Amino acid sequence: MKRVHRALVTVTTALAVIGVPAVASAASKDADRGGLQKRLDDVVAAGAVGALAEVRDEHGVWRGASGVAELGKPRPAPVGGRFRIGSITKTFVATVVLQLVDEGRLRLDDTVDRWLPGAVPDGHRITLRQLLNHTSGLYDYVRTLPMPPGPEFLNNRWRTWSPAELVQRAVANPPVFEPPGSAFAYSNTAYLLLGQIVEEVTGQSYGEEIKRRVITPLRLRDTSVPGTSSRIAGPHPHGYVPTGQDSERSLLDYTEMNPSVLGAGGEMISTTSDLNRFFAALLGGRLLPDHLLKEMMTPGVEGGRYGLGLAWWRDTSCGVRVYGNDGDALAYQSWSYLTEDRRHQVTIVLTPDFDGDPDDAVDAFLNKALCG
């Protein structure tokens, strides 16, 4: 899933939360290197229970944390903790799809009907390229699901969803534009289809292919594709969602949930270190040949900021273009970016408290990390 936070903030500004002091820690000797720790603390103060970050640049590696791992308890947020990465999953899926293109097993101009006949209306007109860059026009299934703080949301917490079931919820709605390829509209539905296509081509789940092609070769030891497993193994910050109405609103620990509802669009778990290693390898040409990496970095529409599973943040305060992705898994929000020259890199994750909007503070942290 991607960027659902602002809508939730709108309906939860009066949310009451347990007050806890910010607790900061860093793995490097210089805990506040150039003000990074202060800006991470600002993120928590703006609207987070906890936040983790890793920055890589000419000075080395800086890791920091702020806030707490769990509401009402003094344990600091774990610097190297694991978290749900949301839509950053899409970059992993796109990498696998493009590797299959490189092997001649897929073509970017293949249609959905070529691999999943009848899965979506007009599947003969929608290509893999359009699925990858969100120009398919397919309705986003996430819009059909109940969201917090509504009580219906919690009824699905442990439910196992199949990709086909979620796709059917999406296509019960008309396309958001016509014809395919003519505009941009973010659609998690597209990546559910890509996950199914990977399985059709390889005979293995997209999760197994991500593990074989990306996780194992890059030694991403804290990265996983959980499937229907509800737990986050190892050290991790707890994530929360708002629940209840009006004066009864509170935060519910939503760390454990069935991630099949996120699927190939957002189910993965990782760490700041592993995500930095992944994007450095991807943008460094270790996972894709140059011509496909260039395709990945080409926007789907003129003036757009999203290519084939890869996004670029707005130009930074220092005028440097950065590539990567961001993710929203409701209880976890993350950003991972690398400068075009690969000299500066940052990943940050927060667990929102839904009592504020930390976006501006996150932008300030990203600018500080990427521009110095």
Any idea which residues carry the catalytic annotation? Answer: 87
Closest CA relative to residue 66, chosen from 39, 85, 86: 39
Closest CA relative to residue 242, chosen from 230, 251, 234, 233: 251
What distance lies between CA 137 and its chain's CA centroid?
A: 21
Closest CA relative to residue 144, chosen from 115, 175, 167, 124: 167
Is the preceding peptide bond at 148 cis, omega within 30 degrees of 0? no
Please report, for residues 3, 33, 292, 327, 328, the alpha-carbon distance to residue 142 in angstroms, rounded to integers and kept in the order given. Answer: 11, 39, 29, 14, 12
Tokens of 122: 């007009």
d(CA 273, CA 317): 24
